[in-house]
Chain A
Amino acid sequence: MGAPTVGSASHGSHNPALLHHFVDEEQQRDAANLGMWIFLATEVMFFGGLFCAYLIYRGWYFPDFAAASRSIDALLGGTNTAVLICSSLTVVLAIYAAQTSRRVMLIAMLVLTMLFGCVFLGIKAKEYRDKFVEHHVPGASFNFDHEQIPGSSPVRYANPRHAEIFFALYFIMTGLHALHMIIGLGIFTWLLWMAWKGRFTPEYHTPLEIGGLYWHFVDIVWIYLFPLLYLIDRH
């Protein structure tokens, strides 16, 4: 630990970012990391329950789920996957920039991350709009009549009630994911503000690492959502 000796009378000779109840910066950093991972554990179980519901209904109503999944634009979903992966790269580059005292790169990477986040939400909004236009939103105006089950001969049609369950899961899971993205954008706005004020140094940039963990977790959730919702039956 190469702690810099920027000391004031009341803080002795340690980094001003080090809180008094920690032994050293490494312990403080480990504690923050551990707390974040425990929070992510609760998030895994939170999304896990939804994935579980999805798997059960998919097992019961597979042909209807396949038909409903075909109506979503997989190219938009795939593009969004790529966008999120790029945003994860800019997050690690931002942390690298902080570790190597590159202020301009740090701010640029944070702005890029937020830009990718906004592109993701924009594409998501376009997708949702299509679903509203097609009356694929569960509720009074829901309509999925005469939609063919993929590969069925003689032609069979999907049960609209079962397809409605797919779309309910689609909107709840992608909606919760989008909510996480919006919260992530809020966190990154704050990180950008801190970076702008020059609060992050090679010795202290824990908020960047913690915020990054959250962003990567949201990315991982999408990595599973994409094939499960968009690519059930595309052949």
Chain B
Amino acid sequence: MSEHSKSSPLPTYFMVWGALLVGTFLTYEAAKVDLGVFNAAVALTIATAKALLVALFFMHLKGASEKLLKLVVISTVFFLFILLALSMADYGTRLRP
């Protein structure tokens, strides 16, 4: 466990916490502005940025050395992408009900 030799992780934790709260506020405010189709894009971009912050710093993926762990995380995202992308490609190109 290399944590003992490193400097305190507390400033990082509080900065990530602040960024997450700012992100939440931004999502809420951005939804009030009419951006047309880009409203959803902005909301999902901010959400993904927040999810990445949580995964990298709070779930300690940043600095994880175990290669098997990286494989699991990357394949999770990959299979979720297949699930969503292929389903949407199918339904998006059909006649609507």
Contacts and interface: CB of A to CB of B under 8 A. Distances in A.
- A, B co-complexed: yes
A223 B50 contact: yes
Say what secondary structure dominates the interface of chain A. Answer: helix
Interface string B49-78: 011001101111000001011001101100
A34 interface: yes
A85 B27 contact: no
B91 A56 contact: yes
Contacts of B79: 41, 45
Interface string B28-51: 100111100001100110110011
Interface residue range, chain A: 35 or more
Interface residues of B, number: 48
A202 interface: yes
A232 B26 CA distance: 15
A216 interface: yes
Contacts of B24: 78, 81-82, 85, 226
Contacts, number: 131
B54 A220 contact: yes
Nearest to A219: B54
B31 A99 contact: no
Contact of B72 (A1, A26, A38): A38
Given A41-B76, A216-B54, A216-B58, A235 B1 contact: no
Contact of B31 (A49, A52, A59, A227): A227
Contacts of B96: 60
Interface of A: 1-2, 26, 30, 33-34, 37-38, 40-41, 44-45, 48-49, 51-52, 55-56, 59-60, 74, 78, 81-82, 85-86, 88-89, 91-93, 96, 99, 202-203, 209, 212-213, 216-217, 219-220, 223-224, 226-228, 231-235
6 contacts: A82-B21, A85-B21, A88-B58, A220-B54, A223-B47, A224-B44
Interface of B: 1, 3-4, 9-10, 13-14, 17, 20-21, 24, 27-28, 31-34, 39-40, 43-44, 46-47, 50-51, 54-55, 57-60, 66, 68-69, 72-73, 75-76, 79-80, 83-84, 87-88, 91-92, 96-97
